[in-house]
Amino acid sequence: MSDAPSRRDFLVYSGAAIAGVTLGETGRRWLGRMDERAAGWRDRGIETFAVSVCRECLAGCGIRVRLVDGVPVKIDGNPLCPIARGRLCAKGQAALESYFDPDRLLGPAHRIARGGPARWEPLPWKDAVALAADKITRAAGTPDGIVVVAADERGPEAEAWTRVWRAAGARLAWTPQPTAVRLRPRLRHLTGAEADPIFDIEHSSYVLSFGAPLADDWLSGVWAQRSFGRFRRGVASSRGRLVQIDGRRSATARKADEWLAVAPDQQSALAYGIASVLFRENRVDRERLASVAGNLGNFEHQLLTYYTPDNVASETGVPVVTILRMARELVATPRPLVIVEAGASVALVDAVLSLNVLIGAIDRRGGLFGRGDDPLPERDDAAAVLRDVAEGRLRPSVLVFADSSALRALGGPNRPETLAERVPFVISFSPYVDEAAAIADVILPADVPLERWHAMVPAAALGAEVIPVAAPAVKRRLDTRDTGSLLHALAVAIGGPVEAACSWTSSEDLVRAEVKRLATAKRGTPFVTTYETEWMQQLESGGWWAQAADSDAAFSDRVLASGGWVDPYFDAGQLTEALRGGRSLSFPLPEALPSAQIAGRATGADAAAEPPDTRFPIALVAFQPAVAATSGNANLPALFELLGQPDGVPWSLWVEIGSELAERLGVQARTRVRLTSAHASLDVMAVRVEGMPAGVAALSIVPGAQTAGRWSRLIGKDPRRLWGNDPAARACAVQIARI
């Protein structure tokens, strides 16, 4: 005790000496002020929550936005939404950054001079709309008139869009989305049923996946993730086994119990190979199949003739024993299921759907269902239409963009700038400075999703009809407009039949009309409780009735407050029903093997399938990392930080190569390599992947990341240059060297 003061003194003096050496009191104060500057955030304010809809992809997850004093600070899942169930994917949350994006357009603008670097001038809404309307009116009379490009969506806004532009005499083109809708035509072809395929992963015991990015971002991201989790460790049930057939080690391949590295263009051969083993070993119920399928005999003959395990093994490089084992595994488990990537080739989708028929996965728990819907209209593919424009086959006077993704699919000489040269007037509705805005003559910026009214039909994933519905969650930050008002303003300015086609004045009108339609249907219910609770309650009450149908207004309020409406009525026997008509199932007859025709994804010819060029010995496939595949704003820093994880370096593009090549190049952590194709070269980080076959490599790409804003510009050069004039191809031949 007694020596305490002196020891304290000693400590204080030595401490003072330390501080003295460092800084005087002035320095301390100065640093203190710097702290205060950094700490300059708001005091705690009033916390509220608003529901809205995630529009980062077509899954349309319900979201709940946390606001403090009306300013959004966090996006979470809407616990009531049957798709999101309170959860979200990385992109869904990052959408918060879109609202605050410092590089958003402040309001309408027009280009001062065409050609050369873009120079913009703000324009009042009235003038901007008048300018656009004038051009549209004039264009209506020209041969190729107006071409309008939008993302393929369903819902009242898409319908309104269609009606206005049809009335204006425009040609509509749509960018297809990687949803179950893409698989629909093949399901129709097989079963005759007009339905979106629903894959019940959650209850399956064994999933054989042909490139389906189940753990990355498949069909409906949050739904797929949850299904995967429950498939793996469902409540007290056995653990599901996943076999991933994938050209690269995707996140899904990493999570799989077995990963077979098979190039995408060889996957259909493998699928048919497995099918042929099922026939050969009498592991299919021929009697049942014969009762529904008219061409079973032909199909079996074709398979047994061409897709013998030996033929398939030599075509795909997968050993015969593995093919046999996979076929046997597939039927040795209670509830097997075969799934496929949305963008896969027709041949592969056909093979996968057929396999599901063979293993009896149709309309059974843990299997493949169809979710009935009206026939889908045939829609022009935006990328093809734009290619026609770029190459002069189509000469519209006005080009309108509500979505720029099709532009990103252009490549080589068909750059967006080419379109600007070919088309006298370009209109963009984008709130961001994306590729379309960059070539636009006038920009009429739309609201970003948090500011918008929503009522849309999300990508089919559940055995239930879900319509997320929401009012704006936040106040408009900049001088933008909702799509409904924009269309209205344009229609009024154009006048005539266009104005007549426009029965609304704003998006709110469109959404309220949709809610009214739902209310009058007297089916389904607002998201009132969680999906599971609702399910139990409905089973008890023996039906699905709109609980709030007492009055339209009350129903509307309830739907808007909860974030959406769900109609869990689901005919789990729809596909079986379609087949019951008698032998209406028609197996697609596969091509003969071996041949080059099995190749080819829907997206175009695979350069990988061409004879190998000694200068460019490596087949390069491209993939879009799930976290970077945004449909809206590409300027999301939180997502760029996720790139390359967990193997590479955040923010960077990387190429995955097998251990043999890695060894030869001396690739260690953080080695950069140069990819050289016939067209260009590109420096990227190399990541060594054990089990990746020799002769192939996979390159990550972030489409559209070059123009959208300060962060997006930080993502290196556009890798698509490697593909040169053949932009549609996802594979090209390269040479790889260490730098």
Ligand X SMILES: Nc1nc2c(c(=O)[nH]1)N[C@H]1C(S)=C(S)[C@@H](COP(=O)(O)OP(=O)(O)OC[C@H]3O[C@@H](n4cnc5c(=O)[nH]c(N)nc54)[C@H](O)[C@@H]3O)O[C@H]1N2
In angstroms, give the least distance from the CB of 229 to ligand SF4: 7
Q: Which is nearer to ligand X, 284 or 687 (CB)?
A: 687
- Choose the contact partner of 86 out of ligand SF4, ligand X, other proteins, none; CB within 5 to 8 A by kind: other proteins
223, 462 Cβ separation under 8 angstroms: yes
Question: Does 60 contact ligand SF4 by CB under 6 A?
Answer: yes
Q: Which is nearer to ligand X, 108 or 431 (CB)?
A: 431
> Quick one: tokens of 52?
């809205």
In angstroms, give the least distance from the CB of 468 to ligand X: 15
Question: Does 75 contact other proteins by CB under 8 A?
Answer: yes
Question: Does 64 contact ligand SF4 by CB under 6 A?
Answer: no
Site string for ligand SF4, 211-230 (x = CB under 6 A): ---------xxx--------
Residues of the shown chain interacting with ligand X in the complex, contacts defined by CB under 6 A: 56-57, 91, 175, 177-178, 210-211, 213, 217, 246-248, 250, 264-265, 267, 341-345, 348, 402-405, 408-409, 429-432, 434, 436, 446, 601, 621-624, 629-632, 634, 701, 703-704, 720, 723, 730
Question: Does 256 contact ligand SF4 by CB under 6 A?
Answer: no
The length of the chain is 739
524, 565 Cβ separation under 8 angstroms: yes
Q: Which is nearer to ligand X, 524 or 719 (CB)?
A: 719
- Choose the contact partner of 446 out of other proteins, ligand X, ligand SF4, none; CB within 5 to 8 A by kind: ligand X
Question: Does 625 contact ligand SF4 by CB under 6 A?
Answer: no
Helix (H, G, I), strand (E, B) or coil at 406: helix
> Quick one: tokens of 632?
């809206």
- Choose the contact partner of 703 out of other proteins, ligand SF4, ligand X, none; CB within 5 to 8 A by kind: ligand X
Q: Which is nearer to other proteins, 422 or 674 (CB)?
A: 674
Buried-state track 37-73, b at ≥16 Cβ within 10 A, e below 16: eeeeeeeeeeeeebbbbbbbbbbbbbbbbbbeeeebe
C-alpha closest to that of 244 among 208, 295, 198: 208
In angstroms, give the least distance from the CB of 218 to ligand SF4: 10
Give the C-alpha separation, 457 to 466, whole Å: 7
The pair phi, psi for residue 681, each rounded to 5°, is -135, 160
* 458 secondary structure, DSSP code: P
530, 79 Cβ separation under 8 angstroms: yes
Of positions 50, 51, 52, 61, contacts ligand SF4 by CB under 6 A: 61
- Choose the contact partner of 178 out of ligand X, ligand SF4, other proteins, none; CB within 5 to 8 A by kind: ligand X
Residue written as tokens 């074709």?
302
In angstroms, give the least distance from the CB of 98 to ligand SF4: 12
Question: Which position's Cβ is nearest ligand SF4?
Answer: 92
In angstroms, give the least distance from the CB of 121 to other proteins: 21
Sheet strands side by side (includes 454-455): 454-455, 465-470, 564-567, 525-526
Inter-CA distances, 307 with 277, 311, 320, 592, Å: 9, 6, 12, 8
User: Checking DSSP bridges between strand 654-658 and strand 696-700, what pairing results, if any?
Assistant: antiparallel
- Choose the contact partner of 650 out of other proteins, ligand SF4, ligand X, none; CB within 5 to 8 A by kind: other proteins
Of positions 56, 434, 451, 606, contacts ligand SF4 by CB under 6 A: 56
Helices 483-494 and 156-167, axial angle in degrees (round to 10): 20
Of positions 53, 94, 464, 470, contacts other proteins by CB under 8 A: 94
Question: Does 19 contact other proteins by CB under 8 A?
Answer: yes
Interacting residues of 240 by C-beta distance below 8 A, sequence separation 6+ = 201, 204, 205, 206, 207, 231, 232, 234
C-alpha closest to that of 696 among 734, 730, 729: 734
C-alpha closest to that of 629 among 217, 285, 271: 217
In angstroms, give the least distance from the CB of 615 to ligand X: 21
The pair phi, psi for residue 38, each rounded to 5°, is -65, -35
Q: Which is nearer to ligand SF4, 150 or 222 (CB)?
A: 222
In angstroms, give the least distance from the CB of 502 to ligand SF4: 29
In angstroms, give the least distance from the CB of 617 to ligand X: 19
Question: Does 45 contact other proteins by CB under 8 A?
Answer: yes
- Choose the contact partner of 46 out of ligand SF4, other proteins, ligand X, none; CB within 5 to 8 A by kind: none
Q: Can you say whether the dihedral through the CA atoms of 86, 92, 97, 101 is positive or negative?
A: negative
Give Cα 41 distance to the centre of its chain.
35
Helix (H, G, I), strand (E, B) or coil at 689: strand
Of positions 1, 2, 6, 42, contacts other proteins by CB under 8 A: 42
C-alpha closest to that of 230 among 210, 245, 219, 215: 215
* Partners of 198 in beta bridges: 369
C-alpha closest to that of 71 among 636, 476, 432: 476
Q: Which is nearer to ligand X, 196 or 217 (CB)?
A: 217
Site for other proteins in 707-736 (CB under 8 A): 710-711, 714-716
Alpha-carbon Rg for the chain in angstroms:
28
Q: Which is nearer to ligand SF4, 432 or 616 (CB)?
A: 432
- Choose the contact partner of 555 out of ligand X, ligand SF4, other proteins, none; CB within 5 to 8 A by kind: none
Question: Does 32 contact other proteins by CB under 8 A?
Answer: yes
Q: Which is nearer to ligand SF4, 77 or 197 (CB)?
A: 77
Question: Does 535 contact other proteins by CB under 8 A?
Answer: no
Q: How many C-beta neighbours within 10 Å does residue 577 have?
A: 14
Question: Does 251 contact other proteins by CB under 8 A?
Answer: yes
Question: Does 216 contact other proteins by CB under 8 A?
Answer: yes
Helix (H, G, I), strand (E, B) or coil at 567: strand
Give the C-alpha separation, 299 to 303, whole Å: 6
In angstroms, give the least distance from the CB of 232 to other proteins: 5
> Quick one: tokens of 40?
């300059």
What is the binding site for ligand SF4 (CB under 6 A)?
Answer: 54, 56-57, 59-61, 88-89, 91-92, 220-222
